[in-house]
Chains A and B, each alone.
Chain A
Amino acid sequence: MNAPPDDRALRALMASYQAGRFEAFDELYPLVAPVVRRFAMGRLRDMGRAEDIVQETFLQMHRARRTYDPAYPLMPWVLAIARHCWLMELRRASRRPTSDVDIEDVPLSVRSGAESHEARVDVHRALTEVPDGQREALVAHHVWGLSFHEIGAQLGITGAAAKLRSSRGMRRLRNLLGRGGA
C-alpha cells in the first residue's frame, strides 16, 4: 500500500500547474492517479472503466483548474471531480444500449470439423456487414435467445421494432451468405 501523498507537495504542484508549468501535471499524475483509481475501482469493479474514470478525472481537473484554491487541500477537490465523472459515467451507461455484441464472441452452432470452422468464419464475416442495429437484434434473438420484448427494452425500442430489425438483419445475412459475399 502506498503512503498517502503529501498534501503540501500536491498543493504546490497544482498551483504550479495553474501558473503555467505543464510538467507539474506529469508529477501530479503518479501521486493522484492511484487514489482516483482506487476510488473508481471501489465503485465500478471494472479495471477498464476505472481507468477511463482516471483519465476523465484528469481531463476535468485540467478544465476546472481555475476553481482550485491552493489554500485548501487538493485531494477533496480531486475526489469531488472524480465522483462527478463517475456519476456522469453512470448516467451515460444508463442511456446507451447495453447490447454491444462483440461478433467474435458470438457462439455459432454450425457443422463440426474443418467445414465448421470455415462456415463459422464466413458467418462472422457476414455479420460484420449487417448494420449495427439489425445485428444487435439478430444476435440477441437468434444466438442469445432473448425475446423481442426483452431486446426492445435493452435497445430502447418497441418489441415490434426489435422484431423488424432482427428479420431484416437475418434477410441481409442470408443474402450475404447466399451470394458468397461473406
Chain B
Amino acid sequence: MTGDQMANDATTHDVDRGLPGALRARLAADFEVVEPLSRPPVRALGLIPFAVLTLVAAPWWFEPRSDLARLGWTHAWGLSMTQSMAGLLMVAVALREAVPGRAWMPASLAAWFAAPIVLVVVVTLSTFDVSPIGVRGGGAIGAVIGAMCFAGSLATALPGAVLSAVLAARAYPTRPALTGLLGGLGAGLMADAGWRLFCHFSEPTHVLTGHLGGVLAAGLCGALVSRRLHGRRNPL
C-alpha cells in the first residue's frame, strides 16, 4: 500500500489500530528473535586485539626507538598506552554515534574531533621536552621520513578503521561519514601509539605532520569506508 492510498483512506489517521496489511506482511516475512546489540563501550572492546597488536608490532618487528631509556616507562609505554586507550574510547564514541537516538550533539562532536589532535600534540610536546631528537640532513630527508611515518601510521590503522566501520554498520548509523571518521581517528590513534615507539624522532614538525597526518588520514579512510558500507545497505 502506498502513502497516497493510505492518505485516501479517510479514517486511517484517526484509528491506527495496527500495522497496515502490506507492511505487516513485509515485516513478518523476515521476522525473527534478535539479541539486542551490546552497549557501544562493550562492543569497542572487540578492537582490543588490534590495539595490543599495533602497540607492540612496530617496536617488536623493527626496533624500539633509540631514546627509550631516556624517555622512561611513563613517556614511552605510558603515553603510548594512554593514546591506545584513547583510540579505543574513540571507537566506542563512534559506535554510540551509530545507534539511533544516541547521536552526539554538535558541541560534543566537535570536542571528540578535537580530542585526538590535542592528545597527539600533548604527547608530542611532552616527549620532545624529555628527549628532543630532530631529523638531520635537511628538508628532503625530513620529508621522506615524514612520508614514511605517515604511510606507516596510516597503513597500520586501516584494518582498525575498516573493522570499526563494520562494527558501526552492524548498528544503524544515520550519519555514516561522521561515524566512520570517529572510528577511523580511533584506529589512527591506536596505530600511532605503536608507531611512535618505533620512530626515532621527536621533533614536533615531524610528528605533527607525519604521525598526526596519518591519524587524520585514517579518519578520512574510515569515513569513506563507512559511507560505502552504508550505501550498500541503503541504496537509493
Question: Do they bind each other?
Answer: yes
User: Taking beta carbons and an 8 Å cutoff, which residues of A are in contact with B?
Assistant: 18-20, 22, 25-27, 29-30, 33-34, 37, 47-55, 58-60, 62-70, 72-73, 76-81, 83-84, 87-88, 91-92, 95
B17 — which chain A residues lie within 8 A by C-beta?
29-30
Chain B interface residues toward A at CB < 8 A: 1-4, 6-7, 12-13, 15-20, 23-24, 26-28, 31-37, 39, 98-103, 171-172, 174, 234, 236
Q: Given A52-B2, A64-B172, is A19 in contact with B33 using a C-beta cutoff of 8 Å?
A: yes
Query: Considering the chains assembled together, what is the distance between the CA atoms of A50 and B13 in angstroms?
Result: 11
Q: What is the distance, in angstroms, from A25's C-beta to the closest C-beta of chain B?
A: 6
Contacts of A87 in B (CB 8 A): 174
Kindly identify which residue among A58, A65, A72, A83 contacts B174, using a CB–CB cutoff of 8 Å. A83
Total contacts A to B, CB within 8 angstroms? 113
- Once the chains bind, are B99 and A67 in contact (CB under 8 Å)? yes
Closest CB in chain A relative to B21 CB, distance in Å: 11
**A35 to B: closest C-beta gap in Å:** 11
Known: A48-B4, A81-B172, A92-B236. A66 touches B34 (CB 8 A): yes
Are A67 and B16 in touch, CB under 8 angstroms?
no
Determine if A50 and B18 form an interchain contact, defined as CB atoms under 8 angstroms apart: no
7 CB-based A-B contacts, threshold 8 Å? A25-B24, A29-B16, A34-B13, A49-B3, A51-B12, A67-B171, A69-B99
Q: Out of A29, A68, A72, name the residue touching B19 (CB < 8 Å).
A: A29
Contact of A76 with B32 at beta-carbon distance under 8 Å, contacts A25-B19, A29-B18, A30-B18 already known: no
